[in-house]
Amino acid sequence: MAEQPPGAEAGTAYDVVVLAGGASRRFGGVDKATLVLEGVSLLDRVLTATESAASTVVVGPERTTCRAVSWTQEHPPAGGPVAGVAAGLRCGTAPVVVLVSCDLPWLTSDDVAGLVDGLGEHDGHGLRDIGGREQPLAAAYRRDALTAALEAIGDPRDQSIRRTFAPLTMRWAEPTRAGRDVDSWADLDDPATAAPTDRPPSRHPGESVPQPGDF
């Protein structure tokens, strides 16, 4: 049996699915996952916050990352975030899945633990950004509930995340900076959004609610 990462035994076991395959149209085609904030890429910041997961799969093209992960992509590519979720959900077996986009630079391990531990009897437990907007791509879900929601829509390509997840019974956290995603260059430049976060170890090779192809 594979050894669990440090800290995984302390609470409910969970897998992580990171969506990092979008076209980043709002950034002029620049790979948003590799944008650097305070010396650390957006993707690595999310991977550091979720390092206690039993397994981690990143949906998107392979990059160099701060820790070892698995990689997958939806087929055909650019099928949108729901197709990415469906591809990622095929990996791992834990009963809880933490689903995050790669553009949550202020997410911390404490935020992730709070989502998992606070799931209770709900299908999902998600973050809200500082404006109160619910973030379904910053949430912990019951694997069986997430699977059922995907099965109900059939072909996941170009489907709406909010419409797909609408049948789920959700709990939402109080608004927090951790739920703020990066939708524009200004989000990275605004000093009001800066907050301490866990820092990743040395890098080594591994690997807004998005619109279709833009998570």
pLDDT per residue over 59-108, tens digit each?
999 999 999 999 999 988 888 999 999 999 999 999 999 999 999 999 99
Instruction: Provide mean pLDDT across the span 107-127.
Output: 97
Beta strands of 132-187 (E only): which ranges? 134-142, 170-175
Confidence of residue 8 (pLDDT cuts 50, 70, 90): very low
Instruction: Provide mean pLDDT across the span 47-67.
Output: 97
CB contact set of 151 (below 8 Å; sequence gap of 6+): none
Residue 76, preceding peptide bond in cis (omega within 30° of 0): yes
Question: What pLDDT does residue 27 have?
Answer: 58
pLDDT per residue over 22-36, tens digit each?
655 565 667 889 999
| pTM of the predicted structure, to 2 decimals | 0.82
| Residues forming a β-bridge with 64 | 205
Say whether pLDDT at 1 is over 50.
Answer: no
In the structure encoding, which two tokens stand for residue 185, read together? 């260059």
- For 152, phi and psi rounded to 5 degrees? -70, -25
d(C-alpha 50, C-alpha 56), whole Å: 8
Residue positions counted in the chain: 215
Question: What pLDDT does residue 188 have?
Answer: 67
d(C-alpha 124, C-alpha 100), whole Å: 13
In the structure encoding, which two tokens stand for residue 133, read together? 């907007």
Four-residue CA torsion sign, 111, 113, 119, 125? positive
